[in-house]
């Protein structure tokens, strides 16, 4: 799906990175724990989170997320948006909760970055 | 002949607002040196977790990066309370984080574990009430 299609599907507001809406997204990682995003998110995936602080943008830049999708209708502080523009990371915000957001994207063909974490350090790839 | 490049950044304890800033800059510099893909990614992740560790637990610290043709060596030296039980600190899920750290999306006891997972070589030396030195080696 493109970011534009994701925004339409979830009735999301585009808060940064309007020019990247044609970017194609195939995978996602949902988490409110940034250490897990660092550990498991794959390049090109969309980060789905309920956090809104500027660190989410830096994390997205580190793991090469294609975009950040903020859930539960949260609107990030200005610092987060400014940083997102600076680091060129699109930010979307939807009113749907994390579960609904993930489910709707999954139903439309977006899959997780990894399927399962079996044990310490072992990741079951897709 | 081996080419070398070194850079060093200070990190201030409890400066939560800037968490990750140094790591984003280090990633940008490494990219400029032609480092890409999995190696860039693992280095950036290990650096980020280390930076968050300094901010969360130490008084101050420095992140030194040395890049050669063969590898990337990252030394993270902090002055701080030190780690009492390194083996325990390495365990997934063990954490002494406060609310401020958790609000940021960290402090779930994944940091050192993530760092080790990203590294080809990994060593921690710690002295109580002095500080901690973390050495990370990533092969190119």
Task: Give residue A88's pLDDT.
Answer: 97
Share of chain B above pLDDT 90, in %: 89
Write the DSSP string, chain A: -BHHHHHHHTT-EEEE-GGGTT-B--EEEE-S-HHHHHHH--TTPEEEES--STHHHHHHHHHT-SEEEE-TT----HHHHHHHHHHT--EEE-SS-HHHHHHHHHHTT-EES-SEEEETTEEE--
Task: Give residue A119's pLDDT.
Answer: 66
Residue A53 to residue B20, Cβ atoms within 8 A = no
B16: nearest CA in chain A?
Answer: A55
Nearest CB neighbour to B110, from listed A35, A54, A64: A35
pLDDT higher than threshold 90 for residue B13: yes
User: What is the least distance, in Å, from the CA of A95 to any CA of chain B?
Assistant: 20
Residue A55 to residue B110, Cβ atoms within 8 A = no
**What residues of B are in contact with residue A37 (Cβ under 8 Å)?**
105
ipTM for this model: 0.91
B27-40: per-residue pLDDT in tens? 999 999 999 999 99
A49 interface with B at CB cutoff 8 Å: yes
Q: At what angle do helices B37-57 and B111-118 cross, to 10 degrees?
A: 150
Residue A56 to residue B105, Cβ atoms within 8 A = yes
Task: Give residue B4's pLDDT.
Answer: 87
B76-107: per-residue pLDDT in tens? 999 999 999 999 999 888 999 999 999 889 99
B34 Rama sector, left if φ>0, alpha if ψ -120 to 50, beta otherwise = left
* pLDDT lower than 50: segments of chain A: 126
CA B36/CA B62 separation, integer angstroms: 24
Task: Give residue A7's pLDDT.
Answer: 98
End-to-end CA distance of chain A: 18
A88 interface with B at CB cutoff 8 Å: no
B65-79: per-residue pLDDT in tens? 999 999 999 999 999
Residue A36 to residue B41, Cβ atoms within 8 A = no
Domain ranges, ordered by start, for chain B: 5-139
pLDDT higher than threshold 70 for residue B58: yes
Q: Let me know if domain B5-139 sits in CATH 3.40.50.300.
A: no
Split at pLDDT 50, 70, 90, the class of B50 is: very high
Task: Give residue A122's pLDDT.
Answer: 55
Average pLDDT value over all residues in chain B: 94
Task: Give residue A120's pLDDT.
Answer: 59
Pairing between strand A27-30 and A46-49? parallel
Task: Give residue A123's pLDDT.
Answer: 53
Share of chain A above pLDDT 90, in %: 91
| Domains of chain A, CATH where assigned | 3-124 (3.40.1390.20)
Share of chain B above pLDDT 70, in %: 98
Residue B41 to residue A64, Cβ atoms within 8 A = yes
Please tell me the pTM assigned to this model: 0.92
Instruction: Give CA B54 to chain center in angstroms.
Output: 8
CA B117/CA A38 separation, integer angstroms: 11
């Amino acid at each position: 799906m493109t970011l534009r299609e994701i925004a339409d599907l979830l009735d999301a507001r585009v808060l940064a990175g309007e020019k990247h809406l044609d970017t194609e997204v195939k995978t996602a990682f949902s988490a409110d724990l940034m250490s897990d995003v660092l550990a498991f998110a794959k390049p090109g995936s969309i980060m789905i989170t309920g956090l809104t602080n500027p660190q989410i943008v830096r994390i997205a830049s580190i793991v090469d997320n294609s975009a950040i999708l903020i859930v539960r209708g949260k609107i990030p502080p200005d610092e987060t948006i400014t940083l997102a523009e600076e680091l060129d990371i699109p930010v979307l915000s939807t009113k749907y909760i994390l579960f609904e957001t993930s489910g709707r994207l999954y139903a439309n063909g977006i899959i997780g970055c990894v399927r399962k974490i079996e044990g310490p350090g072992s990741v079951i790839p897709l | 002949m081996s080419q070398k490049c070194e850079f060093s950044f200070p990190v201030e304890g409890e400066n939560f607002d800037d968490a990750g800033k140094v790591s984003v800059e280090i990633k940008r510099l490494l990219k400029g040196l032609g480092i890409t893909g999995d190696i860039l990614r693992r280095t950036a992740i290990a650096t980020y977790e280390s930076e968050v560790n300094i901010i969360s637990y130490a008084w101050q610290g420095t992140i030194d990066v040395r890049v050669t043709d063969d590898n990337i060596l990252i030394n993270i030296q902090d002055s701080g309370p030190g780690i009492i039980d390194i083996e325990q600190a390495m365990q997934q899920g063990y954490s002494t984080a406060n609310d401020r750290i958790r609000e940021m999306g960290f402090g779930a006891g994944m940091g050192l574990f993530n760092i080790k997972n990203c590294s080809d070589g990994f060593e921690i030396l710690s002295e109580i009430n002095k500080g901690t030195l973390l050495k990370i080696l990533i092969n190119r």
